[in-house]
Amino acid sequence: MAEMLKRSCMALPLEEERPAKRSCLALTPEEERLKIRDISLAAESQSKEGDTCYLITQRWWQNWLDYVNQDQANISNLETSLYGSNSAGSCAVRRPSSIDNTDLIYDKMSEELHDTLVEGRDYILLPQEVWDQLYSWYGGGPTLARKVISSGLSQMELAVEVYPLRLQLSVVPKGDHSPIRISKKETIGELHRRACEIFDLSLEQVCIWDYYGHKKHALMNDMEKTLDDANIQMDQDILVEVLNNVSSSVSGGCISSAPDNGSKGKETSFLLEPSKSSLSIAGGMSASKGMPRSCSSELSQSQILTSPARESDNTHGSCGVITRGSTLGLTGLVNLGNTCFMNSAIQCLVHTPEFARYFLEDYHREINRQNPLGMVGELALAFGELLRKLWALGRTPVAPRPFKAKLARFAPQFSGYNQHDSQELLAFLLDGLHEDLNRVKHKPYVKSRDADGRPEEEIAAEYWANHIARNDSIIVDVCQGQYKSTLICPVCDKVSVTFDPFMYLSLPLQSTVTRSMTVTVFSSDGSALPSVCTVTVPKQGRCRDLLQALAVACSLKPNEKLLLAEIQNHLINHIFEDPLTLLSSIKDDGHLAAYKISKLVKNAMFFHLIHRREEEETSSNDRIKGWKPYGTPLVLPISCNDVTTRGEVQSMVQTMLSPMLRAECAGKADASGDGFSPMEEPSHYADSKNMEKDASHKLPLQLIEENDACIDLTVEDDQSIKLSSSTSMLVFINWSKKFQQKYDTHYLENLPECKSGPVNKKARTEPLSLYTCLEAFLREEPLVPEDMWYCPRCKERRQASKKLDLWRLPEVLVIHLKRFSYSRSMKHKLETFVNFPIHDFDLTNYIANKNNSERQLYELYALTNHYGSMGSGHYTAHIKLLEENRWYNFDDSHISAINEDEVKSAAAYVLFYRRVRKESASASNGTQSSAAHNGTSLN
């Protein structure tokens, strides 16, 4: 401590790592926390582009949080800690030592960050004011400052550039090399200045090239353009070309003395023939036809396909051997770093014949640059350019860097090199391509009319026409279908029917398809004995599924409903009133009872009839008799609108128990093996109404009021009952030996467990069918409480039931299998094997439009697969080249032929189906491109 005080009293050194000042020792942990909180609030409200943020190691930050929040554990982020409650108690955690960021960098000399750092796990970002305050208190270092830049589609979002561009500068003809760190928001002019400073050159002496992959892409001579706009990427090469004669530059270009393909050669003269020169002149257009950057050093597809002499004339020098007549469409995509999710989705879209034909032709005339919902046509151009490369001759893998850059610009969630969900990317691509290629330049305002009793076919056609009036693109032509959506109000029975477009179907999966559940059904009107029902329901279903199955099994009348309850310790433990309750919450060893209740009883409350019998207990060597619950309680509905007397309760209970009334002996068992087993029926019923006239036959009933007062219901028949304000009241019936001789109460005993009997192993091990997933998707379900529907008749939000039906199917049907589930606390992947058809996927019976007599047959032609866990998985694609009638596995840059029986696996994630038309017996005959003059055949 003395040494620390000595150091804190010293003048602050000028070095980057400095010791803590003594002034902070006067602050308590709580004062430090409040100080940093206030600074953080002020800094956050004034953040802007150009601000400086600082990295601090998560390990040190957590130590400081523990110190200032000593009554809180595991607080690891700035927001939750700085706005937490005041801590109290003794200071059990020691004050942190100096800030130590060395675990974030390779060495102190370069201060180069480790490449795999993750925010929140390895480091956090602090505003400059917060860093300055902590640094003044604790010292240490090294200081790792980073700039705040604008990002996102609108360039209005702020982000911290933790990893500025790392570029490799190469000087020719000297051969010098030097790495450089520079922000992607810096201009090309600043890059020129920095390069000249590093190599001791003047600006007039050099010109700089985008030299990605050791190939000249574009002359970087627009000094005001940012490196981000120039599409400069991390770890790429930049060529700094030194001019021997400054006057030899032409219109801002320069004479190339650099070997284009990494091979040494003589200085290239500007007087070379244009057809063989790859040098760039004014504005970065190449002498070879003035192609854009991505094609500036390679011949166009039509030239390659029509000129044998040009097949080997490739300035890239890396296209491999091109064989005339080789199969097209077998070009892989380079994994740029966790981009397998992107590669697999792109390959499936690229190998969709309708898209391939469209983008190989002149699609530019349909680009909608004015659409505010689009991406100024840039996404469509980038995708079209990539598709053409993948359908060109040769099999050298393509690095989708330009497309990845455009994707990151318009969808920042896909920036960087983290793993993402391929289905989410696919959804963005389809929607983005649609908006970029929307043929409707000015969307009209359309308003849907009410149904007014019109035929569904007319309403659906009107909805579709309204949709097409605003949305008309190749994506709509190929991928969009139409749902019929039906909503029913649970209160007023208002029915609302709409017809909505869809781009793909997201089908739910279930690890086990069904579950057998056993429930005992009781009647409240004395019409039948208790009966045991065993029904099959979806394992991931809801209570409404169980109630529907029970209603069929017990032949529920139209004027009846079922009340489902869980029985525990001979009492009603829980009534399942919410139809959305998951069946997974009901344990197999639980006991369920369902009570038939009349719908005619309005404003009902329920009497829980609890059975008790006299039992002896031993206590302190004394035997004490007492009434203990036993058997299964019954439920008696009472209308709160009517006055109910004690005598009426007696009469209703006797009626309910009348099936169990016996004269001389118990009935014989009548077993039934069909899953619906009526319990034993008595030989004959006694006349219960005659008994009601005899007071000696009154049942020993006791009503428990709200104040726990016990009311004897065997006396004062005309006395009215004071009903409780709650929804239920308890009524005890004490079964003496006398009454047990009159009633066969064994019907109330031995309530079976919810899951009884042997497990049906066959049903559990059968693979899940794609048809089953579709049926689960189309099943009627109540809306979740967060998504309730506003009923126009009730003028209130209601938890309506929703039913989806397929009305119109697209040419290409994309099906997403929902393998991933997300929650705040965990992420989960289902490894369920889904048995999906490859041929003859027949959806005819699932079409609600019965006027459509055409058979709805589909054939699988592509799918994406996901292997492994959520965070560290890998994506591939299986694609069928229809011309060859052969399947291939696309694993990034690696492509290999596979057998059809290898297509199905538990890794299948997104399925692509094509419609099979009557005129074509099989889609495997292939489709010839209308661009056949290019020699390109499509699958």
Interstrand relation of 874-881 and 789-791 (parallel, antiparallel or unpaired):
unpaired
CA–CA distance from 528 to each of 582, 660, 681 (Å)? 30, 9, 9
Interstrand relation of 206-210 and 237-242 (parallel, antiparallel or unpaired):
antiparallel
Interstrand relation of 886-891 and 894-898 (parallel, antiparallel or unpaired):
antiparallel
Phi, psi of 915 (to 5 degrees): -70, 140
* 486: exposed, middle or buried (Cβ count in 10 Å: 0-12, 13-18, 19+): middle
- The contacts of residue 640 (CB under 8 Å, 6+ apart) are 603, 604, 605, 723
The rounded distance, in Å, linking the Cα atoms of 137 and 32 is 10
What type of residue is 884? E
The rounded distance, in Å, linking the Cα atoms of 23 and 5 is 10
CA–CA distance from 191 to each of 221, 246, 552, 777 (Å)? 11, 19, 77, 55
Closest to 390 (Cα-Cα) out of 314, 333, 311, 324: 333
The rounded distance, in Å, linking the Cα atoms of 433 and 373 is 11
CA–CA distance from 322 to each of 307, 393, 829 (Å)? 13, 7, 42
The rounded distance, in Å, linking the Cα atoms of 356 and 331 is 14
CA–CA distance from 218 to each of 191, 208, 278, 671 (Å)? 15, 9, 11, 87
The answer to whether 426 touches 814, Cβ cutoff 8 Å, is yes
Return the structure tokens found at 754: 């919810």
Q: Dihedral angle at the C-alpha atoms of 385, 388, 393, 395, nearest 10 degrees?
A: 70
Beta strands in 101-141 (DSSP E): 123-127, 140-141
Local structure of residue 640 (DSSP, 8 states): T
The answer to whether 374 touches 435, Cβ cutoff 8 Å, is yes
Alpha helices, H only, 538-577 = 543-553
User: Percent helix, strand and coil across the chain, each rounded to 5?
Assistant: 30, 25, 45
Closest to 768 (Cα-Cα) out of 387, 514, 460: 514
The rounded distance, in Å, linking the Cα atoms of 573 and 758 is 27
CA–CA distance from 256 to each of 178, 220, 272, 337 (Å)? 20, 13, 11, 32
Q: Strand pairing partners for 860?
A: 913
The rounded distance, in Å, linking the Cα atoms of 10 and 5 is 9
List residues with catalytic annotation. 340, 874
First to last CA, the chain: 77
The answer to whether 907 touches 866, Cβ cutoff 8 Å, is yes
The rounded distance, in Å, linking the Cα atoms of 53 and 145 is 6
Q: Position of tokens 């589909």? A: 858
CA–CA distance from 752 to each of 512, 519, 755 (Å)? 23, 8, 8
Interstrand relation of 857-867 and 908-915 (parallel, antiparallel or unpaired):
antiparallel
Greatest CA separation found in the chain?
Answer: 127
**Residues present in the chain in total:** 939
What type of residue is 907? A
Q: Position of tokens 């190929």? A: 478
Q: Position of tokens 């094997």? A: 833
